[in-house]
Structure 1
Amino acid sequence: MRIGLLTEGGYPYVRGDAGLWCDRLVRGLDQHEFDVHALSRSRRQEDEGWVPLPPQVCRVRTAPLWRAEDDGVVYGRRARRRFTECYGELVGSVCAEVGAGAGSNSASDDLADRFANALYGLAELAREEGGLVGALRSDTAARTLERACRAPGALRAAREARVPDLLTVAAHLERALRPLSLDWYDDAGLGAADLCHATAGGPTALPGLLARHFFGIPLLVTEYGVQLRSHYLTLGPDSAAPAVRALLAAFHGRLAAEVYRRAEILTPGNAHTRRWQERCGADRSRIRTVHPGMEAGRFTEVGESPDRADPGTLVWVGRIEPAKDLVSLLHAFAEVRKVEPAVRLRIVGAASGPEGASYLGHCRALAAQLFPDEAEGAHAIGDNPVSFEEIGGPEAPTLPDAYAAGAVVVLSSVVEGFPTSLIEAMFCGRATVSTDVGAVVEIIGGTGLVVPPRNPRAFAEACVALLRDPERRARLGAAARARALELFTVEQNIAAFHSIYLEIVSHCPVHRVVLDETGEPLPFATPAESHVPGRWTGPTARIMPRGIPEWAMDIPVRATPVAVAEGA
């Protein structure tokens, strides 16, 4: 089948989100054809180029989200009136406040329908007229937004919006709606796909919504991180005015709800993401959790050689940034050293950006303060029990070597999505101590110890318990490796998506004529319908071919259900 793969800021670019996962997916499903439709986030990303593409990638179409030149489209009077009506409905549904009460669900559904109709109305206008960029940047758009904010029933924060706030919101909406103006929506573009697979929600899935609207192409949405949550975190109190935060949060909430409502299947990467989707109105029956796939082969040697570990060493591996809470880890390690003075802590990782570099300096200073060099005892002068290293150095030449160095791998984060370092430690057969954040409990599944975040004493007690019990460490490590190999490999990820692709196209065949090389219709080119919607009930009975008595059949008689549609 032909897959329209929708990405934003990732594959096929060298740098970006989810690039490695998409590359593994495309290479693993070489029986399908892929058309990649990629939205880029910066000029630097485009300048650095693409990763090598396999032959099953038939075409790549790209569009920048970081810039949009004026399309030069001049609307006539009728087109301007259509734009004002559709954009007014869109921002009106965003600004409207849904009250609590018996009719709140109905009101919410009405707003969702208003938002969807306005969104597709703008898409149709862009397709007919050649673009929306100029219209979305016009004074008409700003005045329409202002009227929606001042209308009765609008959000309180929206009514208090000032002119600078309105201009900020209008600019953000123009950027988020840029996919509506792309030239991807024709029979040679997304209309040629059997299935659209969006690798994230939000603007990434917007082209998939339009392909569904214009051509009936089914949409699959995969989220390994919640786009809506990211927008909420980005729009913090220090980054935007209250009116801006309220309006943009409402817009992205409406967009997420529409994506979740229209997708045939949603594949969150973990239970945390799944809960967000359900909270935003996703139908539970259309959700399939598919864990990210990771390459297990390079950790095989370490995982099958648990004796390589130093029984007196704790290891932390990851990007160094404030969210990892290495400060609490260092305080916990100080508690560990009070009862186990020979234990060491190896922190392996590089700083993430300027903020990470500053945080690394702070952690080094704290380590020097908590563990001053000892003149005598377990360590020689200048031998601090805490070491800061990077992958590729003499002590940790490779990532598997870093995990192999310690008997216990620790994770001290206060914020996590789906921590890959934890899965890597499990591939290596290491017992783990982690904080209860993000998808940690879902990943561990009883094969490691989990403690509350920002609780150094509890963290230290868990580490001491494992350091003093080698049999328990070995048991947990073996169980962790078995769990990781069962749930988190590339192979299981690819197999899951292959099955989901087949499920979707069998439920939602694309009704179009497929031609062979000579231009003749290709028989059996469209997938067959295998799913009849609705509930089916009825008594069990034997269905016999007409005119043949039951005794003449050479098969055993068994009861089979007669399909009787409910209400028929």
Structure 2
Amino acid sequence: MKPSLLRRAAQADVCLLLEGTFPYVRGGVSSWVNEMIRSYPELQFSIVFVGSREEDYEGAAYALPDNVVHFEAHYLYEAAPADAQPAREIPGDAEAFARSAALHDAWRNHGAADAGVLMADMVQLIGDNAPLSEEQFLRSRAAWDFIVDQYNRYCTDPSFTDYFWTVRIMHKPLWQLARVAQQLPPARVYHTVSTGYAGFLGALAHYRTGRPLLVSEHGIYTKERKIDLLQSQWIRDNRGAFERDISRISYFRELWVRFFEALGKLAYDAADDIVALYEANRQRQIADGAQASRTRSIPNGVDVDAFAPLIEKRAVRARNVVALIGRVVPIKDIKTFIRALFIASRSMPDIEGWIVGPEEEDPSYALECHALVQSLGLAKNVKFLGFRRLDEILPQVDVIALSSISEALPLVVLEGFAAGVPAITTDVGSCRQLIEGSGDEDAALGFAGSVVPIANPAAFAQAVLELLGDEPRWLAAQQAGIARVRRFYTKKQMIEQYRVLYQRLTAAPTRAGDADGRAAARGGCPVHHGAVAGTPAQSQGVN
């Protein structure tokens, strides 16, 4: 850890729980976190960063603002030190595991209403010297019997060995997070910007302290993890050719998906307020188990005054530059952008495609993208620029491209609008709302670009050619984007809405317990096999 991150404090106003984002990884979520902290100089923040392994992060990408008084980082997939003690069986607490089984059954039954109450009861059993300690899970006869029972009842994969070790790998981070929660400096409110591991930690902090928990999601974590899991190559499927049903995903893949669904439901149950970026995501949160009365939408906002001077700096359009500004990772579908540029270059030979963003998160994918550019003969058209300052890039860009297969409300599109740059996006998240407007007043402003299907290079190329090749259309799209961001998506609007939330939550009394069974003393790590499991945390917060 660099010296600039070594900050310690006994307490804070707001504790931010961040998985795989600020301050180590650049992107939309990290940029948002940085701006949020700096927007409330009157508040003291502590930050808990949760990542995969320390070696996966190349130092801090952001300097900590002055009002960050405490910082700590925890890595969930570091190699464990060798255990000097010989393995030995311990009896285990059968009653504790029975209560754990009841909790898992509630989760398995699509997040039954009593899961929150069961979790509140469970926390008294969690801890290094408690009936559901990590040692109990790893070495007790009760844990072994429970795993065998769950395998026999639910597992459709023939390998018990893979099931056994998958369960162990899944649960390792949860006990580590339970220990982190026990040692956190007190805060008046805990704020997690995702569910997942950070959301689990937020739930533990809330249950242990009785202080409010705020959950704000840029994307829907469970949806994004499901995409990752369905694409992953490391999950085993031991079924034979005649045992496989191609209409169903493998058991272990499904197990990981249910794990993150359960973590999401746990965070929602613990939260006092749950924020989505736009209405469709708020409805998705409700469908995933969030109580509707606790949900609200607060869209991202940008500092339009800071971007306004970039409009005047724009060069006369001559170069036909299309820029994809984002991380070079599969979820951004950089390859579709490259293929679209290949198609467009046949009709517009001087077109330039700039890929502006870090490549270190998924080096193998970045190499594949570079190789694709070379194989298509696009070295003169497509440039990888790495991380660059937006105020340097945007005045030189004619169109913002977003080819992602999943997004929420992408800041880069709003930033482009504020700088006078229209956008072409895939039909994901709130992109259609940003391009075409939502509601009569918004829609009357006009289209700020185009929306195309996911993973369709030909459609993307056609939209690029139509926008760049029609000057009146481009100018109308530019004006629509500028008007939309200034009317509906300003940083001032966003900051004020979060200020109201922070003021209410930090002033709330510590809750010793309430009617729905959520108690101040609760928190900890459930043991669940048929319902949940986990995956490395590096990718959290989709930026």
User: Which bracket does the TM-score occupy, shorter chain normalised?
Assistant: 0.7 to 0.9
Aligned to 1:509: 509
Aligned to 1:201: 195
Pair 1:347-2:348 in alignment: no
Q: Over the residues paired in the alignment, what is the CA RMSD in angstroms?
A: 3.9
Cα distance in 1 for partners of 2:147, 2:103 equals: 9
Cα distance in 1 for partners of 2:365, 2:209 equals: 46
User: Does structure 2 conserve the Cα–Cα contact (< 8 Å) formed by 1:4 and 1:37?
Assistant: yes
Aligned to 2:444: none
User: Does structure 1 conserve the Cα–Cα contact (< 8 Å) formed by 2:28 and 2:411?
Assistant: no
Aligned to 1:522: none
Aligned to 2:274: 266
Compared CA separation, residues 91 and 511, structure 1 to 2 (3 A): closer
Pair 1:360-2:354 in alignment: no
Deviation at 1:204, TM superposition (A): 0.9
Cα distance in 2 for partners of 1:365, 1:355 equals: 15
User: Does structure 1 conserve the Cα–Cα contact (< 8 Å) formed by 2:344 and 2:351?
Assistant: no
Aligned to 2:324: 317
Aligned to 2:424: 433
Q: Secondary structure at the match of 2:510?
A: coil
Compared CA separation, residues 58 and 459, structure 1 to 2 (3 A): closer
Compared CA separation, residues 460 and 64, structure 1 to 2 (3 A): closer
TM-score (norm 2): 0.73
Letter in 2 for 1:24: E
Cα distance in 2 for partners of 1:388, 1:40 equals: 30
In structure 1, which of residues 218, 231, 239 is the aligned counterpart of residue 234 of structure 2? 239
Q: Secondary structure at the match of 1:453?
A: coil
Q: Secondary structure at the match of 2:156?
A: helix
Compared CA separation, residues 411 and 504, structure 1 to 2 (3 A): same
Pair 1:29-2:40 in alignment: yes
> Which has the larger Rg?
1
Cα distance in 1 for partners of 2:27, 2:134 equals: 25
Q: How many residues align?
A: 469
1:273-313 per-residue CA deviation (whole Å, 9 max, x = no partner) reads 4343122021333222233445556643322345x242461
TM-score (norm 1): 0.70
Letter in 2 for 1:89: A
Name the structure, 1 or 2, with higher relative contact order (CA <8 Å, separation 6+): 2
Gaps of 5+ in 2: 1-11, 238-249, 438-446, 513-543
In structure 2, which of residues 17, 30, 53 is the aligned counterpart of residue 6 of structure 1? 17
Compared CA separation, residues 333 and 216, structure 1 to 2 (3 A): closer
Higher alpha-carbon deviation: 468-477 or 17-26: 17-26
Aligned to 1:254: 262
Compared CA separation, residues 272 and 166, structure 1 to 2 (3 A): farther
Cα distance in 1 for partners of 2:465, 2:140 equals: 65
Compared CA separation, residues 156 and 34, structure 1 to 2 (3 A): same
Q: Secondary structure at the match of 2:289?
A: coil
Aligned to 2:393: 402
Higher alpha-carbon deviation: 19-28 or 314-323: 314-323
Deviation at 1:65, TM superposition (A): 2.1
Deviation at 1:481, TM superposition (A): 2.2
Compared CA separation, residues 18 and 437, structure 1 to 2 (3 A): closer
Cα distance in 2 for partners of 1:346, 1:196 equals: 41
Pair 1:421-2:412 in alignment: yes
Aligned to 1:527: none
Aligned to 1:105: none
Higher alpha-carbon deviation: 466-475 or 252-261: 466-475
1:220-266 per-residue CA deviation (whole Å, 9 max, x = no partner) reads 00111322123323333743232322333223222211221331111
Cα distance in 1 for partners of 2:228, 2:300 equals: 24
Compared CA separation, residues 25 and 259, structure 1 to 2 (3 A): same
User: Does structure 2 conserve the Cα–Cα contact (< 8 Å) formed by 1:336 and 1:463?
Assistant: yes
1:162-202 per-residue CA deviation (whole Å, 9 max, x = no partner) reads 232222123212323432233636xxx56x43221112112
